[in-house]
């Protein structure tokens, strides 16, 4: 089955909606299985759970845990399980990259356990394995260039190397790329705290990141400041782009639940202003100490590092010829940021096919105060 996906397009942007968008569906499908396992155990404790923290490898300074927790919460609620801090049991765990014992392929392993309120382990649940490279890169926050049109072994080798040695990104002025000659780049635009007012786009200015001794790109965004992500595509093909903040897809709180990616046209750029709500509105990306919602307080995240992660795939109109280096359709392929005031963002849907992960870029940002959980899943009032 080809990688067909519905995308929402606005000023060179495209957002995704499709049951065939594999990166997200692999991730969500495995967490749905985990949620089913949890439901069976939670039934003995009032059918309610606390969703706790999922931690990643410390050497990666990754912050993908909130994305796992938010998706798991959604899947639990679909099954009728109540997610509340008053529950008698909690689910928490960790994620790491490993080699699958059956296929020897690189996977993202999610290990979860059920504990009582004192922290005593009650049940260790079956580990879930996610094979998709885009999902692995997004959760771990790795920067990498992935070889396209080659074997799975070589693509696995590329992400293994990026995870073990931490590939140094290229920083030219305020633009950050996976490599010096990359056709893709991102830039973080930062604006002052707008208070209750709508942020003025003219107040956003590029902020440079520094590369630390561990080859990680870091920048400072102060509490209260808003920011946007400028995405540059200098390639000859449209780019299907996945943007995650602290492991959360930019569509995590969207009314369009099936959107997963956006597309930037060949030789152009786009600026993402915030969390997508619908095709006319977004909530500004804003660095904040706490979210005011009950949902936020239910999902702790103790990481002191935030991650802005962008991944790129080639995209092309349905029924047209894909890039020559794409393989056949059967191959596989996070202070925290809260939701600020509403900003105007206009999008339109189009249809595209998309290919394999080509590049991924991460920028870490400071968290002056450790957040306690995730943004609400409903629009801010």
272 phi and psi angles, rounded to 5 deg: -95, 120
- Residue at token pair 């000659």: 181
**Alpha-carbon distance values, 313 to 3, 154, 167 (Å):** 11, 17, 19
- pLDDT tens-place string over residues 275-308: 888 888 888 898 875 443 323 443 555 555 788 9
* β-strands 210-211, 217-219 pairing: antiparallel
Query: Residue 359, SS3?
Result: strand
Predicted confidence at residue 87, as pLDDT, reads 93
- Residue 63 DSSP label: -
**Would you kindly state where each structural domain of the chain is located, as residue ranges?**
4-366
Residue 320: band (very low, low, confident or very high) from pLDDT cuts 50, 70, 90: confident
Whether residue 82 is predicted with pLDDT greater than 90 in this model: the reply is yes
Among the listed residues 289, 358, 349, the one whose alpha carbon sits nearest the alpha carbon of residue 134: 358
Query: Residue 84, SS3?
Result: coil
The first and second tokens of residue 232, run together, are 């540059």
pTM for the full predicted model: 0.80
Whether residue 36 is predicted with pLDDT greater than 90 in this model: the reply is yes
Q: Is 344 exposed, middle or buried (0-12, 13-18, 19+ CB in 10 A)?
A: exposed
Among the listed residues 272, 279, 293, 280, the one whose alpha carbon sits nearest the alpha carbon of residue 336: 293
More confident call, 112 vs 61: 112
More confident call, 45 vs 103: 45
The first and second tokens of residue 4, run together, are 């067909």
- pLDDT tens-place string over residues 162-211: 877 777 888 889 999 999 999 999 999 999 988 888 888 889 999 999 88
Rounded CA-CA distance 326/204 in Å is 37
- pLDDT tens-place string over residues 108-145: 899 999 999 888 999 999 999 988 888 888 888 889 89
Percent over 70 (pLDDT), the chain: 78
The H or E element containing residue 124 is strand 121-124
Q: Is 200 exposed, middle or buried (0-12, 13-18, 19+ CB in 10 A)?
A: exposed
- Residue at token pair 């590049």: 359
């Amino acid at each position: 089955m080809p990688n067909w996906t519905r995308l929402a397009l606005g000023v060179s942007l495209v957002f995704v909606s499709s049951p065939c968008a594999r990166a997200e569906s692999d991730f969500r499908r495995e967490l749905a299985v985990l949620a089913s396992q949890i439901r069976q155990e939670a039934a003995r404790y009032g059918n309610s759970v606390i969703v706790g923290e999922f931690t990643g490898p410390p050497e990666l300074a990754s912050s993908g845990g909130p994305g796992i927790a938010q998706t798991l919460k959604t899947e639990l609620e679909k099954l009728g399980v109540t997610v509340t801090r008053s529950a008698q049991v909690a689910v928490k765990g960790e994620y790491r990259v490993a080699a699958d014992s059956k296929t020897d392929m690189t996977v993202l392993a999610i290990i979860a356990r059920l504990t009582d309120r004192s922290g005593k382990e009650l049940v260790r649940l079956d580990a879930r394995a996610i094979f998709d490279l885009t999902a692995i890169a997004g959760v771990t926050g790795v920067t990498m260039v992935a070889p396209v049109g080659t074997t799975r072994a070589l693509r696995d080798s590329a992400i293994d190397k990026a995870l073990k040695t931490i590939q140094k990104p290229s920083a030219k002025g305020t633009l950050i790329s996976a490599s010096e000659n990359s056709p893709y780049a991102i830039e973080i635009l930062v604006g002052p705290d707008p208070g209750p007012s709508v942020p003025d786009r003219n107040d956003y200015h590029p902020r440079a990141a520094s590369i630390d001794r561990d080859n990680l790109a870091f920048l400072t965004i102060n509490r209260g400041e808003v920011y946007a992500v400028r995405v540059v595509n200098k390639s000859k093909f449209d780019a299907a782009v996945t943007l995650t903040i602290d492991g959360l897809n930019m569509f995590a709180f969207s009314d369009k639940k099936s959107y997963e990616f956006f597309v930037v046209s060949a030789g152009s750029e786009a600026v993402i202003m915030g969390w997508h709500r619908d095709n006319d509105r977004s909530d500004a990306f804003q660095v904040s100490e706490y979210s005011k919602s009950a949902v936020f307080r239910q999902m702790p995240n103790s990481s002191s590092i935030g991650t802005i992660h962008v991944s790129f795939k080639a995209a092309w109109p349905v029924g047209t010829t894909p890039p020559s280096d794409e393989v056949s359709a059967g191959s596989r392929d996070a202070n925290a940021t809260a939701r600020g005031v509403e900003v105007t963002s206009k999008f339109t849907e189009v249809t595209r096919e998309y290919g394999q992960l080509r590049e991924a870029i991460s920028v870490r940002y400071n968290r002056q105060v450790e957040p306690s959980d995730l943004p609400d899943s409903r629009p801010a009032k």
